[in-house]
Structure 1
Amino acid sequence: MTSTTGLPETSVQRAFRGAMGNVTASVSVVTTLTDGVPHGTTVSAFMSLSMDPPMLTFALDRSSNLLTRLGIGSVVGVNVLAAHHDQVALRFAGKGDDKFADVLWRVENGAPALGDRHAWVALRLAQLVEAGDHVLLIGDVIGADSTPSAPLTYWKRTFGTHQAF
């Protein structure tokens, strides 16, 4: 296997990939509008950063089409997917311009918000930090909501959901 630099993957990279695959992550679709056209991509790396003031951070691969549309001041939506949205996650993980076809959405707080989601956070980007093969995007929260639905999760390359004890 090769790394993103084109060099052979090291044993540390393989071990790290295996370790991260063993960590359960929520699945989200990050969205934005450019000239009234919605764009989005699936992410599993995001987290709350601060409560005072409310801030959130997520990471995008440097080759992400969505990243080319974002900058300081851009408004994005983080749509945390509900458990039954595995096909939505797969659609937004792929390439192409038709990701929003047959997906219910509306503009909320200036960004595309997917219908029937588990949770929603809208933010205005404040910082972009280069970090390895990704860019860390940090934003100020401008809106949020949640539903009682179960979340879609990703673990060991499979979709699932959380179940309380």
Structure 2
Amino acid sequence: MLSSNTTNSHGSKHLTGIDLEELQTLFRRAMAGVATPVSVVTAIKDGKAHGTTVSAFASLSLNPPMVMVALDRNSDLLSILRETGEYGVNLLGVEHSEWASAFARKGPDKFTGIPWTVENGLPRLVGSTWLACSVESLVDGGDHVIVLGSVLNVDLSDNKPLTYCQRTFGTHAPIGV
């Protein structure tokens, strides 16, 4: 038997009998089982490259080509995207797991030791599949902001994609036919 729905102080509905902390724990565990692509979102401000690892990335539209990424509401990179209106998405290959870890940490100098160049005025990590994007809109999403972007340029790599699932890096493998 299902519990009845209630509305919390934020206007969100949830099942009675599950407190918010328990719901968040269960949600985190459920989402850990979803394989996601690993990418590094980059931008340049005042001649300095900035970047952060994201797993909340997805294709949004083919006509016109659009993608979406989610950035923490308090992210320094989000502030930069608000100002510059442009960003790069570097889709990492399976051999780039160390890059993902480097860009996931806080602090400056994330690009140290990682080969990169500037394309379309944006930082591109050499060897990644790369998208140059312009910010079309920003949408509030809880403790994150969803950045909807128009794709302006694409450069492909032949790498197997880096994915994140069950709190570990991996890659996609086809199921035998």
Report the TM-score, using the length of structure 1 for normalisation.
Answer: 0.90
Task: Provide structure 1 residue ranges, at least 5 long, that are not aligned to the other structure.
Answer: 1-7
Question: Which residue number in structure 1 is paired with residue 36 of structure 2?
Answer: 25
Q: Does the residue aligned with 1:15 lie in a helix, a strand or coil?
A: helix
Question: Which residue number in structure 1 is paired with residue 13 of structure 2?
Answer: none
Equivalent position amino acid for 2:131 in 1: V
Question: Which residue number in structure 2 is paired with residue 144 of structure 1?
Answer: 154
Question: Which residue number in structure 2 is paired with residue 5 of structure 1?
Answer: none
Question: Which residue number in structure 1 is paired with residue 63 of structure 2?
Answer: 52
Q: Residue 97 and residue 72 in structure 1: after superposition, are their counterparts in 2 closer, same or farther (change >3 A)?
A: closer
Equivalent position amino acid for 2:25 in 1: R
Question: Which residue number in structure 1 is paired with residue 10 of structure 2?
Answer: none
Conserved? CA contact 1:30–1:77, under 8 Å: yes
Question: Which residue number in structure 1 is paired with residue 143 of structure 2?
Answer: 133
Displacement of 1:13 in angstroms is: 1.1
Question: Which residue number in structure 1 is paired with residue 131 of structure 2?
Answer: 121
Conserved? CA contact 2:161–2:171, under 8 Å: yes
Deviation per residue, 1:101-147 (Å, 9 max, x gap)? 11111111221000111x21110001011110000101111001222
Q: How many residues align?
A: 157
Q: Which runs of 4+ in 1 moved over 2 A?
A: none
Report the TM-score, using the length of structure 2 for normalisation.
Answer: 0.84
Larger Rg: 2
User: Bigger relative contact order, structure 1 or 2, given CA contacts below 8 A and separation 6+?
Assistant: 1
Question: Which residue number in structure 2 is paired with residue 75 of structure 1?
Answer: 86
Displacement of 1:16 in angstroms is: 0.9
Measure the CA separation in 1 of the matches of 2:159 and 2:101.
19
Equivalent position amino acid for 2:145 in 1: V
Deviation per residue, 1:61-90 (Å, 9 max, x gap)? 112121121117621000000101111100
Conserved? CA contact 2:45–2:84, under 8 Å: no
Question: Which residue number in structure 1 is paired with residue 6 of structure 2?
Answer: none
Q: Does the residue aligned with 1:10 lie in a helix, a strand or coil?
A: helix
Task: Provide structure 2 residue ranges, at least 5 long, that are not aligned to the other structure.
Answer: 1-18
Q: Does the residue aligned with 1:85 lie in a helix, a strand or coil?
A: helix
Given the alignment of the two structures, is residue 97 of structure 1 paired with residue 108 of structure 2, yes or no?
yes
Given the alignment of the two structures, is residue 42 of structure 1 paired with residue 45 of structure 2, yes or no?
no
Q: Percent identity, aligned pairs only?
A: 48
Measure the CA separation in 1 of the matches of 2:163 and 2:21.
28
Please tell me the root mean square deviation across aligned C-alpha atoms, in Å.
1.4
Deviation per residue, 1:6-44 (Å, 9 max, x gap)? xx9522111111110000011000000001110000000
Conserved? CA contact 1:76–1:110, under 8 Å: no
